[in-house]
């Protein structure tokens, strides 16, 4: 594991001598940072098998994938809702961007990146599940798994920020003579952590909108059925 983040001043270990009782930065990048994604990827198959069979048949959208993306229940011609979805993917895009900035910064000064890039799998998975409404409602509770992913990612980022402060923003361990000083990493992590918080808000907001649209869709179906019976 230590080979994944070489040249770190603390080495690899569960406890940092510079930011006790926090782990070392190498331990963060190889063990803790990818952990939320691992748990998220394990949770999705479990949620799939726990989803009742009738759940994904409750809507015509589960039968035709293209209608899930274009149906009136998802895009109710409301600019507010469209902007909400756009904001959600903007937040995810910024998470990808800031994680990339940190990865490039660490790699350019030969500190290694550990398993930090594995976080991209979680970002892509959450975005894909949201775009397909839990692969067309076959994974019930996918949004809760995504919320847990964002919360865990934000918590670990907050702890990592504290660890970077333990190295110091000035001094011998601050990497001031490199292209990626600790003050730069600190700034990047602050932005990353802030957008994890926004991701939690966006995930919940999108799910609330989806549920309102589903109720509206059911009401429309009831009205349509009644009108058909009245016509007959």
pLDDT tens sequence across 158-181: 999 999 998 889 888 889 999 999
Instruction: State mean pLDDT over 92-101.
Output: 98
Q: Decide if pLDDT at 119 tops 90.
A: yes
Instruction: State mean pLDDT over 52-58.
Output: 63
Instruction: State mean pLDDT over 180-208.
Output: 96
Higher-confidence position of 168 and 212: 168
Q: Decide if pLDDT at 219 tops 50.
A: no
What confidence tens digit (pLDDT) does each residue in 141-160 have?
Answer: 999 999 999 999 999 999 99
Higher-confidence position of 223 and 6: 6
pLDDT of residue 129: 95
In contact, 179 and 103? CB cutoff 8 Å: no
What's the whole-number average pLDDT of the chain?
84
For residues 53 and 131, what is the distance between their CA atoms, to the nearest angstrom?
Answer: 21
pLDDT of residue 173: 85
Instruction: State mean pLDDT over 52-61.
Output: 57
pTM: 0.83
Helices marked H in the chain: 25-27, 35-50, 65-70, 79-108, 119-131, 133-137, 142-167, 182-231
**Weakest-pLDDT range from 82-96, 127-141, 193-207:** 127-141
pLDDT of residue 215: 60
């Amino acid at each position: 594991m230590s080979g994944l983040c070489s040249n770190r001043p603390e080495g690899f270990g569960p406890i940092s001598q510079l930011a006790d009782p926090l782990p070392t930065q190498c331990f963060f990048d190889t063990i803790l940072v990818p952990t939320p994604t691992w748990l998220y990827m394990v949770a999705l198959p479990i949620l799939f098998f726990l989803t009742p069979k009738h759940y994904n048949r409750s809507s015509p959208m589960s039968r035709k994938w293209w209608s899930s993306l274009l149906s009136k229940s998802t895009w109710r011609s409301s600019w507010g809702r469209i902007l909400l979805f756009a904001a959600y993917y903007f937040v995810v895009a910024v998470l990808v961007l800031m994680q990339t900035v940190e990865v490039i910064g660490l790699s350019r000064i030969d500190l290694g990146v550990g398993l930090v890039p594995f976080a991209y799998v979680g970002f892509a998975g959450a975005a894909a599940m949201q775009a397909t409404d839990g692969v067309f409602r076959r994974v019930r509770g996918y949004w809760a798994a995504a919320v847990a992913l964002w919360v865990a990612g934000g918590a670990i980022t907050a702890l990592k920020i504290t660890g970077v402060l333990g190295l110091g923003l000035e001094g011998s361990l601050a990497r001031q003579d490199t292209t990626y000083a600790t003050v730069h990493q600190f700034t990047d992590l602050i932005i990353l952590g802030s957008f994890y918080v926004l991701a939690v808000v966006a995930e919940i907001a999108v799910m609330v909108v989806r549920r309102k649209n589903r109720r509206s869709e059911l009401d429309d179906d009831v009205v349509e059925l009644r009108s058909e019976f009245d016509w007959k």
